[in-house]
Amino acid sequence: MLDILRGTVATISATFPDQYGSPSLATGPVKVTVTGVTPLSAPVTDLNATVGDGMVWSVALPPEATAQLNILYAVWTDATGRSVVTSHEVVGGFFFSVEEARLLERSLEDEQRYPAERILAKRRFVERACEDRYTRLIFRPRYGKVADYTEPPEDIKGAAALHLRYLLNRDKSSIPDRATTFTAVEGGTYELSTANEYGPGIPDVDAVYKSYRTDLPTFA
């Protein structure tokens, strides 16, 4: 699920999966009730969802739902009583917008190849990986976490954008995912950087992420 920027008008979406986890038809009307880990200022119940392409149901959230940092839970119920639950984090900021990502990594400017939906989905993964796994620092206001920064520094933004580009193009690499060495056609074998606790295995990204770690061992 995509995060929601605090204080904005947001639309959330859901699908009703079949027994194999694929989207399936739901019997309308579909009603949505939203609650928060921190209680909302006013009840958000019986919102009417609309269906679009791919059997995806969507609903607009009222302002009170995004007014504060929170974890939201939306229960989607169709006319037969079948229901699904989605979760959404209301955050105080992002590492970069879609437009900024395209400026930071010019190869992402092709909107046909890199539609906004793909960038947004991978952005969330990159932000979580950077904060929760690799640097162990919080670079923007988030619910239930103490922010170490009010916004991400420029080098973190740049490293995260490079990480994003790598993920968007990972399926185009001719090198197997588990490879640790690479032998060139013209000769020569090279050791490949691999993911570890300090980074995803992209040298320029790893160097930046690791530089922010405060728990590294020191040697006299």
174-197 residue pLDDT tens:
454 444 554 555 666 555 566 788
DSSP string, the chain: ---EETTS--EEEE-EE-TTS-EE---S--EEEEEESSPPSS-EEEEEPEE-GGG-EEEEPPGGGSSSSEEEEEEEE-TTS-EEEEEEEEES--S--HHHHHHHSGGGG-TTTS-HHHHHHHHHHHHHIIIIIII----S--TTS--S-SS--HHHHHHHHHHHHHHHTGGG-SS-TT-SEEE-TTS-EEEPP--BTTBSS-HHHHHHHHHT-S------
pLDDT value at residue 54: 79
pLDDT value at residue 215: 85
Q: Give dist(CA 114, CA 118) in Å, integer.
A: 6
pLDDT value at residue 172: 59
pLDDT value at residue 170: 80
pLDDT value at residue 15: 96
pLDDT greater at residue 170 or residue 75: 75
| Model confidence band, residue 1 (pLDDT cutoffs 50, 70, 90) | confident
Provide, rounded to the nearest whole percent, the portion of the chain with pLDDT above 70. Answer: 87
pLDDT at 87 over 50: yes
Contacts of 71 (CB under 8 A, 6+ apart): 36, 37, 87, 88, 89, 90, 143, 144
What pLDDT, in 10s, does the model give residues 21-55?
A: 999 999 999 999 999 999 999 999 999 999 988 79
Q: Nearest-5° angle of CA 58, CA 61, CA 65? A: 140
pLDDT at 220 over 60: no
pLDDT value at residue 174: 47
- All domains of the chain, ordered by start, with CATH? 4-91 (2.60.40.10), 98-211 (no CATH)
pLDDT at 102 over 50: yes
Long-range contacts, 192-196 (Cβ 8 Å, 24+): none
Mean pLDDT of 92-110: 96
pLDDT value at residue 59: 97
pLDDT value at residue 191: 56
